[in-house]
Amino acid sequence: NNALAFSITKNAYVNEDFAEPISCLLLPGDYHFVAVIHKTNDASEAAAAIASTSQATITTSKLLSVFAVNQPVTILANQPNTVSIDLGPCITSKFQIKTTDETPANVASCEVILNPSSSATAAYLFNPTTGLAESTYLYRTEFVLSNMSISTFKNNPLGVNCLLSEASQLISVTVNMKDASGNIVRTRTFSDVPMKPHRITRATGSFFHSAANSSFTLSTTLDPTYEFEF
């Protein structure tokens, strides 16, 4: 009847029993077990807040992989009930940019923005039953070369996770390559990028330069001579 019977949160950073089974006492009857498991950027970020079978919130500075499920469960009387919760594949979708040309020496970071015309948020509301977000949010991540274990963006995919508001959604993506002062060296916008939950959509190509090959063709054959008398 949508009344909360039991709730628990665990953090892998601080709970030594994070991987241990969760136990609780419940009256016999029918229940919905709603679970959300997600990665966090650091130990200070809280676990998702589950308000109901249709609404949960993740508060984070950068959205990472998210798994969620609403699983009907019947608890039987006078016996132990062991429940295995199947969260299935992740509900998040990921966009990746993979550049195939050399990264210019003055490029220090790459900023990837999904849904640039939407509003930014640090509280992502979604439906744990469907895995879909309540709104189309802006997602922004900046990859700084000096903070990474790579020296170039070439052939190194850079990915940003997002929640979709539809099972299949076309989004816009802006990619900014910046110098050490934050000035944009090169920018590209991709429109109608097809995204789906638990799938990577990867854009691959020459970001900074486009190679061009040319050749010359000519004919030494002249048209018939035009003559006139004088």
Residue pLDDT, tens place only, 125-144:
999 999 999 999 999 999 99
φ/ψ of 147, rounded to 5, equals -100, 5
Provide the CA 28 distance to its chain's centre, in angstroms. Answer: 40
Task: Tell me which residue of 35, 32, 34, 41 sits closest to 12, measured CA to CA.
Answer: 41
List of E strands, 103-199? 109-114, 123-126, 139-144, 158-162, 169-178, 184-195
C-alpha dist (Å) from residue 3 to 52, 89, 120:
9, 28, 32
Q: Quick one: tokens of 76? A: 């039987």
Q: What is the pLDDT of residues 14-54, one digit of tens each?
A: 888 988 999 999 999 999 999 999 999 998 999 999 999 99
Q: What is the pLDDT of residues 161-172, one digit of tens each?
A: 999 999 999 999
CA angle 194, 198, 201 (to 5 degrees): 35
Cα separation of 41 and 91, whole Å? 18
Is the Cβ–Cβ distance between 93 and 131 less than 8 Å? Answer: no
Cα separation of 158 and 98, whole Å? 7
C-alpha dist (Å) from residue 199 to 3, 50, 75, 95, 113:
34, 24, 35, 9, 18
pLDDT category at 219 given cuts 50, 70, 90 is confident
* Residue 150 half-sphere exposure toward CB, CA atoms < 13 A: 14
Q: Has residue 211 got a pLDDT over 80? A: no
Strand partners, 177: 110, 186
Q: Quick one: tokens of 136? A: 């189309």
Residue that wins the pLDDT comparison between 14 and 158 = 158
State which amino acid sits at residue 19.
A
> What sign for the dihedral angle of Cα 140, 47, 202, 158?
positive
Cα separation of 13 and 208, whole Å? 40
Q: What is the pLDDT of residues 173-188, one digit of tens each?
A: 999 999 999 999 999 9
